[in-house]
Structures are given as structure tokens and as C-alpha cells.
Amino acid sequence: MLSIHVLRYRTTKNYDMDIECRNRIGFDFSEGSGKTLHGVNPVSNTMIPDKFFTATPEDVDEAMHKAQTAFQKFSTTVWEERAAFLESIADEMEALGDLLIHRASEETGLPEARIIGERGRTTGQLRMFAQYIRTGNWVEATIDTAIADRSPVPKPDLRKMMVPLGPVVVFGASNFPLAYSVAGGDTAAALAAGCPVLVKAHPGHPGTSALVGEAIIKAAQMHDMPDGTFSLLYDNGFAVGQALVGHPYTTAVGFTGSVGGGRALFDIAAKRPNPIPVFAEMGSTNPVILLPEALKARSKEVAQEYAASITLGVGQFCTNPGLLFGIRGEELEEFKSHLKTAFIGTNPGTMLHEGIGKAFMQKSNKMLSEPDVAVLVESDKEATADQVRPTFATTKGSEFIKNPSLHEEVFGPFSMLIECENIDELDHCIKALHGQLTGTLIGEPDDFENHTALVYELQQKVGRLIFNGVPTGVEVCPSMMHGGPYPATTDSRFTAVGIHSIKRFLRPVAYQNTPHPLLPGPLKNENPNKIMRLVNGTYTTEPV
Amino acid sequence: MLSIHVLRYRTTKNYDMDIECRNRIGFDFSEGSGKTLHGVNPVSNTMIPDKFFTATPEDVDEAMHKAQTAFQKFSTTVWEERAAFLESIADEMEALGDLLIHRASEETGLPEARIIGERGRTTGQLRMFAQYIRTGNWVEATIDTAIADRSPVPKPDLRKMMVPLGPVVVFGASNFPLAYSVAGGDTAAALAAGCPVLVKAHPGHPGTSALVGEAIIKAAQMHDMPDGTFSLLYDNGFAVGQALVGHPYTTAVGFTGSVGGGRALFDIAAKRPNPIPVFAEMGSTNPVILLPEALKARSKEVAQEYAASITLGVGQFCTNPGLLFGIRGEELEEFKSHLKTAFIGTNPGTMLHEGIGKAFMQKSNKMLSEPDVAVLVESDKEATADQVRPTFATTKGSEFIKNPSLHEEVFGPFSMLIECENIDELDHCIKALHGQLTGTLIGEPDDFENHTALVYELQQKVGRLIFNGVPTGVEVCPSMMHGGPYPATTDSRFTAVGIHSIKRFLRPVAYQNTPHPLLPGPLKNENPNKIMRLVNGTYTTEPV
């Protein structure tokens, strides 16, 4: 018989899918205190009737104890098993079929095509990590063999590798219901590292979270992963998140969201008796520098490209270009004129949920009320009550330098052109910037040759420097750096995208004079998997 | 004419050496507010007459501005120049000859032979980093080339490498006047990374600090490094340290010392508008597990080895073994008897300064006043008024589990044997431990086979796991991990010793679709230095 807490759906393909409405405490369930939350369709502004139980601090404690108990077995699973587990999560997500696509689209207002693309990215990330952990290179094996006759003292045998930190807490992101939520990048990296994961579902998409959560549980059971490897908790307030970050067993936190939210979690983690790292990806205005020769050569093309980038996904990408900088003159006027033409026809859109839409209205209005800030162009398309209208503002470089409010991110389809008097003022503007995920330079070869100092200054502020492109579109590959100095993230030394994001959840351990049978596999003399190791100062895939 | 702020010394080798008594604000000097501090010879308990000016917050601000200005030039010096600069620091330190040895010994009470050894380690570290940055492997170059015809969107060209964070603040350590002070491991790693360094001299050894500071300044001027690459500030209070950690231009902090001191700096850094990483190496009791078969086979040898390790350098190594665990029985009684014999003859010693000596007396007395803690053996050698007496205490496993006070570090020659009823109680003791720099297992092959769970539990708590040895003696090599979970350090993901300690002061930057001439050298297609790079997923030293 079907549990009363499971909603059975008949998919368009004529098979049944279940949505579990309770918190997942490992393989068990909890109704918490009995309070519930529900999703809202932001396009129709109607409540989605399915109710999800919010967790209690006791649920958090139980899930953390399970995670801590699961840690030993899970962290010492052989790589092949963990890789297969990750691949099965991807398979199970795909098996959810249209139900997942419909539900994610319904809960976020994002078009189905976008959700389908995001699902591809999410399953791609899971499979990428499966492949990566099989290589063994992620343990960064380093070996220095003994020198027994060294004077004055013998050199011991020392071998070092990365090991998982322990249970990791992941906060689902509103703007990526799949790729940065329940089985998103943070979860995939932490599980790949060998860390049990506890996800706090984003309250904006509980049904999507539940579906993906069940995919993970199913995969965990299929591969005999220990109970507690994964838990999923719901809350539409702060108590569960705070309890998760403050719990003694938590060893790291992944978060994508606002500066306010990320900083609050960072502060809780920093005040713990034993502080833990928080990897919060937060606010970024992703500055774009328009250099004069480029505008001379192709201002129309750039204007069109940027009108599209700014409004992509209703401006809800963390790499949305919020600030454009140019130097006053004929070229910039021409660019503005092209931008107006291209931008006026952009489409209004519905933001992820009502709260984000309201915040957009409030923040964009506040920005437009700052001294010397004016609207350059707005979309003139008709907008329904739930939609927001793309807006492009303009201000002066001197204002930008002196008014800190102009540096704040307006999350959504809002950008601002900063018109500088000259290259010196532009340089000052860049120096005044906060840390950013990305910085973009639009220039011709002559531009770069004339302004090498600008290129350097911008690099100091960013995690990714882009030449002649748009910052939206984050390639998932080893050389991606998705991160940057504060407030783009709370830790500029790590990327949140790509294989190297696993580094966030690992720490090195050295083994001294360890009897060979007791050495972990990657540090034994034999090297059957041909791991790249640093042996006595030289990189090699050979055995010792 | 000699400045009145320079003390000229005639060395034993008949040449003159100068000690600068003012703060070094880059290449300039400051007398601060005019207040001074002076060193004390802890053995004779007499003041060393040379006075050093304490810095003001204004000095900090000026030094930080210089560092920030120097950052661009210094961070973009070619590797060969930076390597030569590091080597010259080592050369200049050696050129200080006996004056440095005498002064460091005089200010710390450490024997000259130990200081000579420590100088060798310090210059060795500087030369190790010189060699390492020449390899280029530290930039962790990662390249993914473009795929123009990829569907649905072209793949951009992405290349990633590590870049320096910015100005780094280093706190001199009392227990390593050379190897973890002015030109010690943190300074060497930060300079190697391309970060300007501001050192807050430890007030316990100002003369040593001044001499080494001048060696760095001389080397910087010799290699035309920018003014601000290095500054040296004195203070015997907290104001200068707090101002340094709180300064907006500071990007990271290195510290070795007490949990109280390290945590205070961590808290300042975490509360900044833009939080920065603090690498504080703090308290560790370095637990040692004595397994039954090993005690059966060689309890006398182990007892002798540990009596020596515990009292090495008057117990002032951060890896000093403070806690030994064993299981009650005949073997343990035999070990205790051998330990008494070996330990009773150990020498009392003078600690680094009067304050540390007093803290030792207070903390060891407090420990001995805890319930069920008793002295097992004390050195019976005569001790002068300034010396402390090595002490070995004993308690029960059940007490250790329930009394958090027994987990605290007693910095100095104090250790405690925890006698457990059985293997289960020992396992509980290990589970109850805080994070540690090291954990040691003394065992025979049978012991390890019988107690695999113990090995795993201990690994969870430590940065370095040692088999059948002593934790004192930290090998400087790539596979060393000198760090560990809190409170051993504030960031378990990084080592403070060896080439990989450079990672603390670097962050990744990705370059997207960058015109080839604008790419940093390590990311260009050519690879003249044969750097190990990850190119399209494969490690190679070949060009692209």
C-alpha cells in the first residue's frame, strides 16, 4: 500500500512516479513537527498543493549522527563503487523523465528547455566526477622515500594524500534547481570526495528537491552505500540551516545565494568552537570593460550580444553582467544607441519566486533613485503582473567611485553602464570594485596593448577573466574557475565548478614510516591505476 | 656616520655587523611613537640592553600601502628573479654568522647548536622554495583548448593557473626564532608565491628579528625588488597585530603560537567586511598509542625514545608528544617502570621566556590538581630558579573521556600516560580527542592487524600519522603535512611545512578566450620550462 506521505504521479509516458513528502534522514523518514511548506508556481502565482514536512533541530541531529556513522564506510569505499554510485544518481535523475522537468519548471518559472539543459549539466557533472575519482589524481599522492643513512638523522619514509573532511552540508540554490541544488555541483563534489552530504532543500522548489533526493537514495541503496550517506531536509525558515552549520559533526558547507545569506552562514561557522570552511558563492556584478577600438570596430555586435546576455534566464545567472564600463566619446554614444535598439525589444520575464521578483523591483528602484543614475533603456514589451521588465541604467564614473551603493548587485535583468571621462577614471573604477566571479574585456589587439594596466587591475578582482565574450555560460571543465575574491565567494582559493571543486572537501594527511600493508592504496609502491604522483620530487605514473 | 638607531657589533670573526632598532616600513624606517621594547636573556634572567621601537597603527597603514603598491611589480617578477631573491636572503642570513647565532641563543635560551640547526633548516627552506618556483609546477597550470564546432555552443578556450593573493602578514613564533619567524616558513612561502610580506616580530627575540629583517631588506635591494616587498614591525602588545590583521589590504595571515592567540587573530579576520584566511598553527597534544604487542617486544626502547622526545628542546616543539595511551596490564607496567628509569635522569631546562615558564608551571600544576591525575615520574636533577623540571603524569582512560581539561596542551616538558581498561576504552579516548598535528602508533604487525579501527580513528584526528617513531622532528619535504584539524590549526586543508605550503597564499584565476600574447607565460602554448600541466584532461610537460 502506498504511504500517505507519497504522492503518486502518472507521467506523460504512462508510468507512475512517486514524490516523497517527508524529510529524508538517511534511509528513514521524518515528518518533523508536522508543519509543512509548499511550492508556488511563480508564473501563475498559484500554490502547488503538495505539502512537504519541515524538519526540526532533532531531525538535523539525527541526520548528522547518521552521516558521522556512515563516514567511515563511505569514505573508504573503493573508487569504482563511489563512481558507480554517482553514475547511478545521474541515471536515476534521467529516469525521472518529464515529471522532473515539469515539476522544476512549474516551481521556478524557468522554461522546460532550460531545465532540460540544466539536467544535462547536472548529470554531466555527476558522471564527470565519477570519471575523475577513477583516475585517482584527485588524491594528489606525494611520496618521499626513506634515506636510512642520511646524516645527522635518517630521513623517514613520508607519503601524503588527500582524504575527505567528513559530513558536508549543502544548501540548494534557488536559481539552479538541479545543477546547484540537491544533486548539484556541491553534492557531486562532496560525495566524490567521500563525504556524506546533508542537503537543506531550497524552499522554492521542494517537489524538485524531493524527486532528486529519491534518485540519490535509490542509487545509494542500489550500491549498498551506508545509511546516512545522504539526507534531505526541508525548511522555509532559518532554524534548520543554522542547526546544520552549527552542528559539531559538520566539517564544511556549500552554499549558493545572496551575500546576506552566505555571510550569515559564514559567521555561524566562524564562531563555532571548531570553525569550519563555508564555500559560499554570493554576489557578483561581473564587470565588463568596453575598450575604445573594439567599440569603433563592432559596437553593434557587442550591443546585441550584451542585450541577450543581460536578459538570459531573466538575469538570474550568478555571472550576469551587471556593470559595463566605457569611456565617453563617439564610440560609446554609438554603442549606447545600438544597445537601446537591441534592448528595447527584450522580453520581460517571471523571476524564480515572488520574493526574488519583489527584491528586484525594490533594488532596481533604489538604484535608479541614486544621484546621477538614470534609465538608459527599458524593454517596451508588455509585461504581466508577475513579470519584471529588463532595465538598463547609466551613471558617471565619478559617481561610481564615490557611491558604494552603485556597487551592489541587483539580482535580475538590470545592468548599468558606467561612463568614464577618461582611461584614468576607468582605472579608478576598476580599482574600486569588490571581488567578482568574472571580469570581461571587450577589446581589439590595440586596446590590450594600450591598456595592460587595466588588464592587470581587473585580474586582481576576479576569478575568471574573459576576453571578447559574455560571462554568462559557465563551462564545466578542469580549467574553469568559478569563484573569486569576497564578496563573490567567501574563499577565493577554490572553484565551485569543475573537477577541482573536489578540493574544497579534502585535506592532506601524511603517513610516516607506515608498514606497507597499512598504506592506503594510492600510496603503496605499486601504482596499478597509473595515478600521477610526485615521487621524490618528480611527477610520474610509475611504481616506486 | 652611523645612525643612532643602528647598533654596530664586532663579530668574533672580526668584522662589523649592524642591528637596526627601528621598524622597517619597506626600505624606510620608523621610530613609531618612540616607545621601545627589549629582549631578555631567559637563562640569566637579565635584560638585553638594546632597545627596539614599537610600531604604531600609522606605521602599519604605511607599510600596508607600500605592500599593496609593491604587489603588482613583485607578483609579476619573473620566477628566476624571485628565486634568486630567496637565495640571497639565505646567503645574507648565513653572512650574519655567529652574531645571529649568539643573539638568537641569548634571546631564547635555546642552545647554539640548536640555533645552528634551525638556521640550516631556515636557509634550506628558502632555497627549497627558490628551486620549487623555478619548476613552475606550483602554478598548477590547467588548459582546455577551444572546440569551435561543438554543438549546441562552441567550447571556449579556458586556461587556469594560481596567482598570488596579495600582502601577507606573518607573526614571528617564539619557539622557532629563525625557522618560523622573520624569514621562516610562512615568509618564504608567501614571498615565493609573489606576495609582499609584513612581519610582526615576536617580542621575545627582537634582535634576532632585526638581523634577519636586514638580511631580507639587503636581498630585496640587491635584486631590485620593489619598496614594500617586506616590512618588519615591533610590538610587545596586541595593537600592531590587530591592525595588521584588520587592515583592508591584508589578504592572508600566518601564525604559530597558542590557541588563544591564534583564535583571536582568526576571529578578527572572520569579522572583517571581507574575511581573509588565517593559517594559525596552534595547540596539539600529539597523542601516542602504545599497543600491547609492541610493549611486550620493546618497552624499554620505546620508554627511552619517548623520555628523550618529550624533553627535546625543553618540550617546546609543536609536535611534542603530550599524551600517551596504553592498555592496563603487565606490558604497560613494565613500560612505566622503564619510563621512570629513563625519565628521572632527564634535564631541567630554561623555557623561551619568563612568561612561557610561568605558564608551564601554572598549567602543569593545574593538570596535576585534576581528579585522578598523579605524577608518575619527575626529573630528579637539580634545577636553577629559571628552569622547569620535566614531569610525567598519569590518569585513567575513563577520566580522560569525561574531563575536557585533560585534553588541554601543557606547552613544555609535560606528558601524561592515559591508562585504559581495555581496547574499547582506548577507542573512546581516541574518538574524544581534538584535532592534532600528529598521531603516533607504536605497534608490531600483529597490533595493527588486530586494531585497524584504531588506526582509522586516529587518522581522522590528525594531519600526520606516524608508525613506530616520535612526532618531534618535522621533515621538510613535499610529502610532509604539518597541520591538522582544529585546534591544531585553523585550516586543516593546508600544510605549513614543505613546498605545498605555498598553496596557502595562492588562488586560481581562469583566462577565457585570451589572446595568446596576453596569456601569462605558464599558460601559453609553448612550454619552454617543461611545466607539468593538465592539458585537455591529461598531465603533460609537452607544448599545446
- Are residue A90 and residue A208 in the same domain, yes or no? yes
Residue of B nearest to A274 (CA): B486
In this structure, what C-alpha cell is assigned to residue A435?
571581488
- Are residue B339 and residue B278 in the same domain, yes or no? no
Q: Are A350 and A383 spatial neighbours (Cβ–Cβ below 8 Å)? A: no
Closest-CA residue to A38 (of A205, A200, A239, A214): A205
User: In sequence order, what DSSP letters do the residues of A148-202 get, joined into one string?
Assistant: TT-SSSPBPPEEEEEEE-S-EEEEPPSS-TTTTSTTSHHHHHHHHHT--EEEE--
Indicate if the pLDDT at residue B2 is higher than 70: no
Range of the domain at B170: 24-39+49-139+163-282
In this prediction, residue B312 carries a pLDDT of 86
For residue range A193-228, what is the model confidence (pLDDT) as tens digits?
Answer: 999 999 999 999 999 999 999 999 999 999 999 999
| Ramachandran angles phi, psi of A170, nearest 5° | -120, 130
- Are residue A307 and residue A416 in the same domain, yes or no? yes
Q: How far apart are the first and last CA of chain A?
A: 59
Mean pLDDT on B272-295: 96
- Cell numbers 607544448 correspond to B543
Q: Which residues of A touch B270 (CB under 8 A)?
A: 266-267, 270-271, 275
**Using the beta-carbon criterion (under 8 Å), do B515 and A435 form an inter-chain contact?**
no
Q: How far is A521 from chain B (nearest CA, A)?
A: 14
A487 in any annotated domain: no
Indicate if the pLDDT at residue A3 is higher than 70: no
Query: Of B223, B248, B282, which closes a domain?
Result: B282
**Using the beta-carbon criterion (under 8 Å), do B158 and A495 form an inter-chain contact?**
no
CA A373 – CA A363 distance, rounded (Å): 13
- Are residue B318 and residue B175 in the same domain, yes or no? no
Mean pLDDT on A433-458: 95
Q: Which residues of B touch A76 (CB under 8 A)?
A: 456
Q: Which of A505, A512, A541 to mutate to test the interface with B (most CBs of B within 10 A)?
A: A512
pLDDT band for position B13 (cuts 50, 70, 90) = low
A255 in any annotated domain: yes
Any catalytic annotation for residue B333? Answer: no
Q: Which residues of A touch B478 (CB under 8 A)?
A: 142, 144, 160, 534, 537
CA A460 – CA A439 distance, rounded (Å): 10
CA distances from B91 to B87, B123, B398 (A): 6, 8, 54
**Using the beta-carbon criterion (under 8 Å), do B475 and A163 form an inter-chain contact?**
no
Q: Which residues of B touch A435 (CB under 8 A)?
A: 274
Select from A142, A490, A512 the Cβ nearest to the Cβ of B466. A512
For residue range A163-185, what is the model confidence (pLDDT) as tens digits?
Answer: 999 999 999 999 999 999 999 99
Mean pLDDT on B273-295: 96
- Are residue A223 and residue A116 in the same domain, yes or no? yes
**Using the beta-carbon criterion (under 8 Å), do B270 and A274 form an inter-chain contact?**
no
CA A184 – CA A126 distance, rounded (Å): 8
B482 in any annotated domain: no
Higher local confidence (pLDDT), A10 or B149: B149
In this prediction, residue B17 carries a pLDDT of 67
In this prediction, residue A507 carries a pLDDT of 98
The single residue of B87, B281, B331, B425 carrying the catalytic annotation is: B281
**Using the beta-carbon criterion (under 8 Å), do A508 and B500 form an inter-chain contact?**
yes
For residue range B335-357, what is the model confidence (pLDDT) as tens digits?
Answer: 999 999 999 999 999 988 888 89
Select from A275, A467, A513 the Cβ nearest to the Cβ of B512. A467
Indicate if the pLDDT at residue A160 is higher than 70: yes
- Are residue B260 and residue B393 in the same domain, yes or no? no
**Using the beta-carbon criterion (under 8 Å), do A158 and B475 form an inter-chain contact?**
yes
Select from A468, A490, A534 the Cβ nearest to the Cβ of B513. A468
pLDDT band for position A1 (cuts 50, 70, 90) = very low
User: What element of type H or E holds B347?
Assistant: none
- Are residue B34 and residue B98 in the same domain, yes or no? yes
Burial bucket for residue B345 (CB in 10 Å: 0-12, 13-18, 19+):
exposed
Indicate if the pLDDT at residue B482 is higher than 60: yes
pLDDT band for position A13 (cuts 50, 70, 90) = low
Q: How far is A427 from chain B (nearest CA, A)?
A: 14
**Using the beta-carbon criterion (under 8 Å), do A508 and B481 form an inter-chain contact?**
yes
**Total beta-carbon pairs less than 8 A apart between chain A and chain B:** 191
What's the one-letter identity of residue B538?
Answer: T
Indicate if the pLDDT at residue B4 is higher than 80: no
Number of independent structural domains in chain A: 2
User: In sequence order, what DSSP letters do the residues of B132-156 get, joined into one string?
Assistant: HHHH-GGG--EEE--BTT-SSSPBP
Q: Which residues of B touch A486 (CB under 8 A)?
A: 274-275
Q: Which residues of A touch B166 (CB under 8 A)?
A: 460
The single residue of B195, B318, B420, B429 carrying the catalytic annotation is: B318
For residue range A58-113, what is the model confidence (pLDDT) as tens digits?
Answer: 999 999 999 999 999 999 999 999 999 999 999 999 999 999 999 999 999 999 99
pLDDT band for position B317 (cuts 50, 70, 90) = confident
A90 in any annotated domain: yes
Q: Which residues of B touch A539 (CB under 8 A)?
A: 137, 532, 539
Q: What percent of chain B has pLDDT over 90?
A: 89
Residue of A nearest to B163 (CA): A460
Residue B83 sits in a domain whose CATH number is 3.40.605.10
**Using the beta-carbon criterion (under 8 Å), do B483 and A275 form an inter-chain contact?**
no
Residue of A nearest to B490 (CA): A275
**Using the beta-carbon criterion (under 8 Å), do A507 and B514 form an inter-chain contact?**
no
- Are residue A195 and residue A313 in the same domain, yes or no? no
Q: Which residues of B touch A434 (CB under 8 A)?
A: 274
Select from A144, A275, A435 the Cβ nearest to the Cβ of B477. A144
A259 in any annotated domain: yes
pLDDT band for position A312 (cuts 50, 70, 90) = confident
Write the Ramachandran bin of B537: left for phi over 0, alpha for psi from -120 to 50, otherwise beta.
left
B29 in any annotated domain: yes
Q: How far is A16 from chain B (nearest CA, A)?
A: 32
Q: Are A256 and A173 spatial neighbours (Cβ–Cβ below 8 Å)? A: yes
- Are residue A424 and residue A343 in the same domain, yes or no? yes
In this prediction, residue B520 carries a pLDDT of 95
In this prediction, residue B523 carries a pLDDT of 98
Q: How many CA atoms lie within 13 A of B141 on its CB side?
A: 26
Task: Indicate the pairing of strand A414-420 with strand A323-327.
Answer: parallel
A15 in any annotated domain: no
Q: How far is A463 from chain B (nearest CA, A)?
A: 5
- Are residue B269 and residue B404 in the same domain, yes or no? no
**Using the beta-carbon criterion (under 8 Å), do B477 and A515 form an inter-chain contact?**
no
User: What element of type H or E holds A313?
Assistant: none
Write the Ramachandran bin of B513: left for phi over 0, alpha for psi from -120 to 50, otherwise beta.
left
Prediction ipTM score: 0.95
**Using the beta-carbon criterion (under 8 Å), do A143 and B479 form an inter-chain contact?**
yes
Q: Which of A479, A513, A541 to mutate to test the interface with B (most CBs of B within 10 A)?
A: A479
- Evaluated on CA atoms A207, A248, A179, A81, the torsion sign reads negative
Q: Are A210 and A19 spatial neighbours (Cβ–Cβ below 8 Å)? A: yes
Indicate if the pLDDT at residue B1 is higher than 80: no
For residue range B414-462, what is the model confidence (pLDDT) as tens digits?
Answer: 999 999 999 999 999 999 999 999 999 999 999 999 999 999 999 999 9
Indicate if the pLDDT at residue B56 is higher than 60: yes
Q: Are B349 and B388 spatial neighbours (Cβ–Cβ below 8 Å)? A: yes
A518 in any annotated domain: no
In this prediction, residue A5 carries a pLDDT of 75
- Are residue A278 and residue A319 in the same domain, yes or no? no
Residue B305 sits in a domain whose CATH number is 3.40.309.10
Closest-CA residue to A327 (of A233, A422, A393): A422
In this prediction, residue A284 carries a pLDDT of 92
**Using the beta-carbon criterion (under 8 Å), do A270 and B275 form an inter-chain contact?**
yes
Indicate if the pLDDT at residue A540 is higher than 70: yes
pLDDT band for position B93 (cuts 50, 70, 90) = very high
**Using the beta-carbon criterion (under 8 Å), do A509 and B459 form an inter-chain contact?**
yes
Q: Which residues of B touch A463 (CB under 8 A)?
A: 507-510
What's the one-letter identity of residue A178?
Answer: L
- Are residue B230 and residue B296 in the same domain, yes or no? no
**Using the beta-carbon criterion (under 8 Å), do A479 and B514 form an inter-chain contact?**
no
CA A355 – CA B352 distance, rounded (Å): 60
Tell me the catalytic residues of A: 281, 318
Q: Which residues of A touch B76 (CB under 8 A)?
A: 456
Q: How far is A263 from chain B (nearest CA, A)?
A: 10
For residue range A324-377, what is the model confidence (pLDDT) as tens digits?
Answer: 999 999 999 999 999 999 999 999 999 888 888 999 999 999 999 999 999 999
Mean pLDDT on B480-504: 97
- The per-residue pLDDT of chain B, averaged, comes to 94
Q: How far is A373 from chain B (nearest CA, A)?
A: 26
